[in-house]
Amino acid sequence: MIMGASQTGDDSPLVEVRDLTVTFPARSRHPAFTALNGVTFDIARGETLGLVGQSGSGKTTTGRAVLQLQKISRGSVKLHGRELTAMRADELRRMRRHMQFVLQNPYSSLHPRMTIAQTLTEPLIVHQAVTPARYRERVAELLELVSMDPAIMDRYPHEFSGGQRQRIVIARALAVNPDFVVCDEPVSALDVRTQAQIVSLLHSLQEKLKLSYLFIAHDLAIVHEVCRKVAVMYRGEIVEKGSVSQVYDNPTHPYTQMLFDSAPVLDPSLQRQRLRMPPPEPATLAAGHPDSACAFGEIHAVSSTPAWHEVAPGHGVSCRYRPA
């Protein structure tokens, strides 16, 4: 690529996301809905950022918006220091060889009428990554990369299990040697044993190929295993962000605490006791008012700072959605 070390030094992050905002416009009888609000994060080379939160918190929308598969209303996404949001369609298509997508459902994300070889060849054709004579060779390489037998390349997706299909989906994402892969709940459609296999596959591929992942999940245990950094989302905003150890050991935002509390514990009597307790009251998570002092005693409307506070180096927390 043309961008030299001057533009992106080794220490500058591979992916820079700033103030990413997605608003779905109002339709008849539905008011406009802000799916993402000011999402900001960096992902360094070879690093994994985990994105957790409950259903509807905007995790998937974040992944899609970062990949420019979702129209954004504000903000900036840079990959290799190049702004994606302002790119023309054909420029963006060429840029896609650096960023790939692993979707949640391996059953629906493969074309049912294309053989594995055809599926894996598509990205090679689109990006003219290798000459046509080398297609089958490259497909075999890719299947070996995800620990599958290259002999299966002329078979159809329905002949494979969910875990095998997810390997194929991963192979497709890696076909053109991307640097950055968004994994949207890559294991949540799989059974537990297969989950572990796919997770370790993602891990070894990361080490082998120096990949950066945005790892979207709702399973806190898997995020703990896969990621070094984690961001917690609530109602389209990142409410807490830090290294996995910081956030897991010292959850600071009330929503993060609630999320961790909702994970079942490995003690039947304790778990039963927890289930008898009433669920936490969502009203305590009102958005907060920008004109009054926030939980940290700052009036952001006056200081015009983002509603964000560092509680430790690299560990930040939002002052929104917490009782005043």
Partner 1 sequence: MSDAAIFSLAGAEPAPRRRLRPTAGRLLLGLGLVMLTILVLITLLAPLVAPFDPSATSPQSLEGSSSQHWLGTDAIGRDVLSRIIVGGRTTLFITFTAVSLALLAGLVLGLLSGYVGGWVDEVIMRILDVIFAFPVFLLAIAVVAALGPTVPNLILTIAIVYTPAMSRVVRGPVLSVKKWDHVEAARSIGMSEWRIVTRHVLPMVVSPIVVATSLTLAQTIFTVTALSFLGLGPPPPDPNWGGMLADARQFMELAPLTVVGPAAAIVFATLTFIVLANGLREVLDVGSER
149 vs 142: CA distance, rounded Å: 10
Strands (E) located in the chain: 15-24, 33-43, 48-52, 74-79, 82-83, 99-102, 180-184, 212-216, 229-234, 237-243, 308-312, 315-318
52 vs 63: CA distance, rounded Å: 12
Query: Is residue 122 a contact point for partner 1 (CB under 8 A)?
Result: yes
Q: How far is the CB of 209 from partner 1 (least distance, A)?
A: 17
| CB of 51 closer than 8 Å to CB of 62 | yes
Query: Is residue 84 a contact point for partner 1 (CB under 8 A)?
Result: no
Query: Is residue 123 a contact point for partner 1 (CB under 8 A)?
Result: yes
Q: How far is the CB of 80 from partner 1 (least distance, A)?
A: 15
State phi, psi for 12 to the nearest 5 degrees: -80, 145
Stretch that binds partner 1, among 6-14, 107-115, 214-222, 247-255 (CB under 8 A): 107-115
Q: Which of 38, 179, 17, 34 is nearest to 85 (CA)?
A: 17
Query: Is residue 161 a contact point for partner 1 (CB under 8 A)?
Result: no
Put the strands of the sheet holding 74-79 in their side by side order.
Answer: 33-43, 15-24, 74-79, 82-83
The binder of partner 1 chosen from 25, 33, 71, 93 (CB under 8 A): 93
Query: Is residue 109 a contact point for partner 1 (CB under 8 A)?
Result: yes
Total residues at interface with partner 1 (CB under 8 A)? 29
Question: Is residue 32 exposed (0-12), middle (13-18) or buried (19+ Cβ within 10 Å)?
Answer: exposed
Q: How far is the CB of 196 from partner 1 (least distance, A)?
A: 23
3-state secondary structure of 148: coil
* Of residues 16-75, those binding partner 1 (CB under 8 A): 67, 69
19 vs 35: CA distance, rounded Å: 13
Query: Is residue 289 a contact point for partner 1 (CB under 8 A)?
Result: no
Stretch that binds partner 1, among 151-159, 191-199, 280-288, 305-313 (CB under 8 A): 151-159
Q: How far is the CB of 247 from partner 1 (least distance, A)?
A: 29
The binder of partner 1 chosen from 1, 7, 25, 94 (CB under 8 A): 94
The binder of partner 1 chosen from 59, 78, 80, 96 (CB under 8 A): 96
* Of residues 166-205, those binding partner 1 (CB under 8 A): 169, 172, 176
Q: How far is the CB of 126 from partner 1 (least distance, A)?
A: 5
Query: Is residue 313 a contact point for partner 1 (CB under 8 A)?
Result: no
Query: Is residue 1 a contact point for partner 1 (CB under 8 A)?
Result: no
Listed in sequence order, the residues at least 6 apart from 138 whose beta carbon sits closer than 8 Å to its beta carbon are 120, 124, 129, 130, 175
Length of the chain as a residue count: 324
Tokens 């974040």, residue?
A: 62
The binder of partner 1 chosen from 4, 9, 31, 112 (CB under 8 A): 112
Interface residues toward partner 1, by CB under 8 A: 67, 69, 92-97, 100-101, 103-105, 108-113, 122-123, 126-127, 156, 158-159, 169, 172, 176
